[in-house]
A and B are shown apart, each in its own frame.
Chain A
Amino acid sequence: MAIGVTNAPERIRSSGSIINDPQVRGIFYQALTVIILSVLIYWIVDNTVENLRRANIASGYGFLNSRAGFDVGQSLIAFSSDSSYGRALLVGFVNTLLVAVTGIITATVIGFIIGIGRLSHNWIIAKLSLAYVEVFRNIPPLLVIFFWYSGVLSILPQAREALALPFDVYLSNRGVAFPRPIAGEGAGYTLLALLIAIAASFIVARYARQRQMATGQRFPLLWTVLGLVIGLPLVTFLATGAPLSFDVPVAGKFNLTGGSVVGPEFISLFLALSFYTAAFIAEIVRAGIRGVSKGQTEAAHALGIRPALTTRLVIVPQAMRIIIPPLTSQYLNLTKNSSLAVAVGYADLVAVGGTILNQTGQSIEVVSIWLIVYLSLSLATALFMNWYNARMALVER
């Protein structure tokens, strides 16, 4: 008690006036920010409520159940103009995922090829890869989409004069028509066989790793897995009497009938996103491989490991540690860039949402759905990245 009394005035004297106390200042600034923000938010909410009342828009998500009244060009799940707005948004989301997943696969393949090509000792390959990266990195993705859409696909011949490619594939300004596989009776067994093969592969891989840890012997894993995943379904497929037929597109008088058609909107978006993102992935791959120090290769050679094995067991695992985090963010970028679909009329989440927004005026609700969907995708990616980083991080002693 006595100490407190004697100390208190001294502390104040030593730190000068209360205005200069950093802690007090911090609390003051934060309180000020909160107050200003609250006033701003109150003002915005007040204005919004007033504006909505004047425009006669009922807020809330009830509109999701009412009839959409518009059609979407391409959809993986059943949709007609009688379906609800909610279903339309679901169609948009599925379409976003479709173009994102296919785009990610192609972009990764092209990106890895170009990225490795940039490190090639072959002068032409290195320069061609460099040219690819420099061209696609420095052009807006939207322009690449239009390049495919109005520059290339729209000047293809009409549907009745479609270019015939091998395997009954037709190319026209309405997109690509290809034979649609129709599963016959017993096709389910093939699918089942495939699932079993995949499950078996995991078990074999586990066993192989354990055996190598215990005995040091390597197991021909790649061939076993390939044999399982391709062989088992194939045998089942043939054993059940090849229950598969094709609905082949036929050139009619005005249009192609039958088969499956992928529209030019999807193709141009898919190609543009793949080519554009591949340029960035190539740079990431190059940086990752260059990031593995030369000593690692030399040490592996000194141990007598063959070059192919060195690449697979020494360089790639270490390069992947550098590559994966930026790669995931590129995947996320591709997913976000798929919203450019609205420019060519591919019915993705943003395009469908934009149509609904124009029809109903429920802008806050639609924008909130966009935010939630894209933020969840980002969050999921971030979680995956953290998990992967924790798994792959360098274990230092």
Chain B
Amino acid sequence: MSTHQATFVRASMIEAAPAPSRESGIVHWLRTNLFATPKDTALTIISLLVLAWIVPPAIQWLFIDAAWTGGGRGVCATLAQGGSQPDGWSGACWAFVSAKFDQFLFGRYPLEERWRPALVGVLFVLFLVPMLIPKVPYKGLNAVLLLAVLPIIATILLPGGWLGLTFVETPLWGGLMVTLVLSFVGIAVSLPLGILLALGRRSNMPVIKMLCTVFIEIVRGVPLITVLFMASVMLPLFLPQGVTFDKFLRALIGVSLFASAYMAEVVRGGLQAIPKGQYEGADSLGLSYWQKMGLIVLPQALKLVIPGIVNTFIGLFKDTSLVSIIGMFDLLGIVRLNFTDTNWASAVTPLTGLIFAGFVFWLFCFGMSRYSGFMERLLDKSQR
């Protein structure tokens, strides 16, 4: 009889072996994400080829061959075109952007008065940034500063004309400043007005309901440019002789009314999504109509439609560029105006200017959409 004798017993657990190289690490990632099937491989290779075809020339054009400094069109034109660059050269003309940068910000606002829009801009950033960070306290005070104090300061400082400030008429305004003023006012007006219109459209009173519906549907049915044309050619007709409206103000009214109609539809979507029990619960508590809406329904409805609201804001911001068609110089308008400057006219100037303007618009819109995503996640968490 032989007894079973163990010659070796492992006393400790063996270390887990690393996963096979094809199941982990970069190889695995490549296999699952880029080369999973023959079709995938073909797509990957085609995309890489397209990228190789587009990206290096773009970088070359934008940065390496670009003219960064210079005082005139010479640096951005080839010898044949009367410039200093070798024939066949093509590159971005950043010198144009840097020479005109102040104009792109303030338009033709008088040089010695530019501290005024600059100050308003600084205050805007100072008030806006803490507003956007959820952790910063005193949101109520902050909102008052942003939505009440800042507009008052802006209406005093930007046009001037009192308190010893020289009057700067609005045709001289331009650039990013006009874009931002239009969007800020548009946003500040369209949200409350849109909420009122949405409430009106869902009202029990037939006359109010019909008026709101007709307004919303007409404005949403036509392009913004016709609304702007209406504001600029028809408004003077509607007013008595001698009463004139500033062109800038007319554009502001047009843009705000247009955005309100879209906002109203977004808010209405939110109102419809609130269960009937909420309305009835508020009624049974004896709340008045405005208490019911302001305390119970709207807070829930607005939270639901934050993405839609921000999308409307983004649309509004992009739409402000249309005022350049009715002869105002917002960021896009002032960039295009400078193409005609003979000191800078060259083949690459328009493209460079437009890429710059596009980048600025993109930064703002992308920032807004990212922030809305962040807010959505934040509010979503608090709900659970």
Chain A interfacial positions (CB closer than 8 Å to B): 26, 29-30, 33-34, 37, 44, 47-48, 50-52, 54, 120-125, 128, 134-135, 137-144, 146-147, 150-152, 154-155, 336-337, 339-340, 342-343, 350, 354, 357, 363-364, 367, 370-371, 374-375, 377-379
Bound state CA distance, A340 and B332, in angstroms?
Answer: 14
Bound state CA distance, A142 and B238, in angstroms?
Answer: 30
| Contact of B325 with A by CB under 8 A | yes
The list of the 6 closest CB pairs from A to B, nearest first, reads: A138-B365, A378-B221, A123-B33, A339-B223, A151-B351, A336-B223
Residues of chain A within 8 A of B239, CB atoms compared? 47
Partner of B33, one of A34, A121, A138, A378: A121
Contact A371 B226 (CB under 8 A): yes
Contact B237 A147 (CB under 8 A): no
Residues of chain A within 8 A of B58, CB atoms compared? none
Contact A125 B208 (CB under 8 A): no
Partner of A137, one of B205, B321, B322, B365: B365
Partner of A139, one of B51, B217, B362: B362
Contact B350 A143 (CB under 8 A): no
21 contacts between A and B (CB under 8 A): A29-B208, A30-B205, A33-B211, A48-B237, A121-B32, A123-B34, A137-B369, A139-B365, A146-B332, A147-B354, A147-B358, A155-B348, A342-B225, A350-B229, A354-B229, A357-B229, A371-B221, A371-B222, A374-B221, A378-B217, A378-B220
Residues of chain B within 8 A of A144, CB atoms compared? 358
Residues of chain B within 8 A of A155, CB atoms compared? 347-348, 350-351
Comparing B39-47, B112-120, B185-193, the segment that makes contact with chain A is B39-47
User: What's the least CB distance linking A277 to chain B, in Å?
Assistant: 13
User: What's the least CB distance linking A384 to chain B, in Å?
Assistant: 15
Contact B358 A143 (CB under 8 A): yes
Chain B interfacial positions (CB closer than 8 Å to A): 32-34, 36, 40, 43-44, 47-48, 51, 204-208, 211, 217-218, 220-226, 229-230, 233-234, 236-241, 314, 318-319, 321-322, 324-325, 332, 336, 339, 347-348, 350-351, 354-355, 357-358, 361-362, 365-366, 369
Residues of chain A within 8 A of B44, CB atoms compared? 122, 124-125
Contact B43 A125 (CB under 8 A): yes
User: What's the least CB distance linking B73 to chain A, in Å?
Assistant: 14
Contact A363 B241 (CB under 8 A): no
User: What's the least CB distance linking B90 to chain A, in Å?
Assistant: 9
Shortest Cβ distance from A128 into B: residue: B47
Bound state CA distance, A26 and B238, in angstroms?
Answer: 30
Given contacts A123-B33, A146-B336, A374-B222, contact A138 B369 (CB under 8 A): yes
Residues of chain A within 8 A of B229, CB atoms compared? 350, 354, 357, 367, 370
Partner of B34, one of A124, A141, A152, A350: A124
Bound state CA distance, A143 and B319, in angstroms?
Answer: 10
Bound state CA distance, A359 and B358, in angstroms?
Answer: 34
Most B-side CB within 10 Å, residue of A29, A30, A128, A138: A138
User: What's the least CB distance linking A73 to chain B, in Å?
Assistant: 18
Residues of chain A within 8 A of B207, CB atoms compared? 30, 33-34
Given contacts A122-B40, A375-B218, contact A337 B223 (CB under 8 A): yes
User: What's the least CB distance linking A218 to chain B, in Å?
Assistant: 25
Contact B230 A367 (CB under 8 A): yes
Contact A140 B234 (CB under 8 A): no
Contact B40 A370 (CB under 8 A): no
Bound state CA distance, A124 and B48, in angstroms?
Answer: 8
Shortest Cβ distance from A46 into B: residue: B240
Contact A150 B350 (CB under 8 A): yes
Residues of chain A within 8 A of B230, CB atoms compared? 367
Bound state CA distance, A30 and B209, in angstroms?
Answer: 10
Contact B354 A146 (CB under 8 A): yes
Contact A139 B237 (CB under 8 A): no
Residues of chain B within 8 A of A121, CB atoms compared? 32-33, 36, 40
Shortest Cβ distance from A276 into B: residue: B318
Residues of chain A within 8 A of B225, CB atoms compared? 339-340, 342, 350
Contact A125 B211 (CB under 8 A): no
Bound state CA distance, A154 and B353, in angstroms?
Answer: 14
Residues of chain B within 8 A of A339, CB atoms compared? 223, 225-226
Bound state CA distance, A47 and B357, in angstroms?
Answer: 41
Given contacts A30-B206, A140-B319, contact A364 B226 (CB under 8 A): no
User: What's the least CB distance linking A352 to chain B, in Å?
Assistant: 13
Partner of A122, one of B33, B238, B322: B33
User: What's the least CB distance linking B201 to chain A, in Å?
Assistant: 14
Residues of chain B within 8 A of A363, CB atoms compared? 233-234, 237
Contact A375 B222 (CB under 8 A): yes
Shortest Cβ distance from B363 into A: residue: A138
Bound state CA distance, A26 and B289, in angstroms?
Answer: 12
Bound state CA distance, A134 and B362, in angstroms?
Answer: 9
Residues of chain B within 8 A of A140, CB atoms compared? 318-319, 321-322, 332, 361
Residues of chain A within 8 A of B241, CB atoms compared? 50-51, 54
Residues of chain B within 8 A of A135, CB atoms compared? 362
Bound state CA distance, A343 and B47, in angstroms?
Answer: 35
Partner of B238, one of A48, A336, A342: A48
Shortest Cβ distance from B319 into A: residue: A140
Bound state CA distance, A343 and B228, in angstroms?
Answer: 13
Beyond known contacts A121-B36, A371-B226: 19 more, CB 8 A cutoff? A29-B208, A37-B211, A47-B237, A124-B44, A138-B314, A138-B361, A139-B358, A139-B362, A142-B325, A143-B321, A143-B357, A150-B336, A150-B351, A155-B351, A340-B325, A350-B223, A354-B229, A370-B226, A375-B221
Bound state CA distance, A154 and B354, in angstroms?
Answer: 13
User: What's the least CB distance linking A351 to chain B, in Å?
Assistant: 10
Residues of chain B within 8 A of A120, CB atoms compared? 43
Bound state CA distance, A34 and B43, in angstroms?
Answer: 64
